[in-house]
Amino acid sequence: MKRIILTVCLTIATVCVMAQNTIKLPEPDKNVSMTLYQALQQRKSVREYSSKEFDDMKLSQLLWAAVGINRPDGHLTAPTAINAQDITVYVCRKDGAYLYEAKENALKKVSDKDLRKEVAANQTFAADAPVSLVIVTDNAKFRGGSTNGPTISGAIDAGYVSQNIDLACEALGLCTVPRATMDKDALKKELKLSDTQTPILNHPIGYKK
């Protein structure tokens, strides 16, 4: 009997810890009024952000646009070479760093640290944005799966995701800049990336100052 009670308690504790480390995002509202051509007309890089935070609905809309699932068969909003789906997006903010899980529309915590300074590196303006998205490619998703840095296809795939983020920011009244600058070694360690994963681009995102 004691053993059963202990097992039940341990299971409950494990579920509670898992729940704490996962944030379920609201279903993204896809009825955004700005047209694609309006967003294209307005898109520009912005490097000054107000400290005002944006809500989880906007984050959910952004992440869905970046690399969300848009078809019942699991295909994504951004194309990937041979449908490798090699791209993952990490969310870095004050309360820690999270992996975006598209299937669950949830954020899985990977670090308790605020990594926005590591994302900013020597471009300190980037750390002012309340959120930084880091776009990571995984060579293991391509034939060969080498650890010698990203494949050309991986870099191109990251570019598509980055452009989706750029346009979604315009549509949602947010601003951003795509950046290759970042402390890749620190981010690889803190985001617990595998040897085949490489951060390619990042996006500080916020409201314009």
Q: Which residues bind ligand FMN (CB under 6 A)?
A: 44-45, 47, 123, 177-181
Q: Which is nearer to ligand FMN, 153 or 181 (CB)?
A: 181
- What the block records as the tokens of 40 is 């294209």
- What the block records as the tokens of 42 is 């307005």
CB of 43 to ligand FMN, least distance (A): 7
Q: How far apart are CA 29 and CA 193, in angstroms?
A: 30
CB of 47 to ligand FMN, least distance (A): 6
- What the block records as the tokens of 54 is 């944006």
CB of 176 to ligand FMN, least distance (A): 9
Q: Which is nearer to ligand FMN, 38 or 45 (CB)?
A: 45
Q: Which is nearer to ligand FMN, 62 or 102 (CB)?
A: 62
CB of 67 to ligand FMN, least distance (A): 17
Q: Which is nearer to ligand FMN, 114 or 183 (CB)?
A: 183
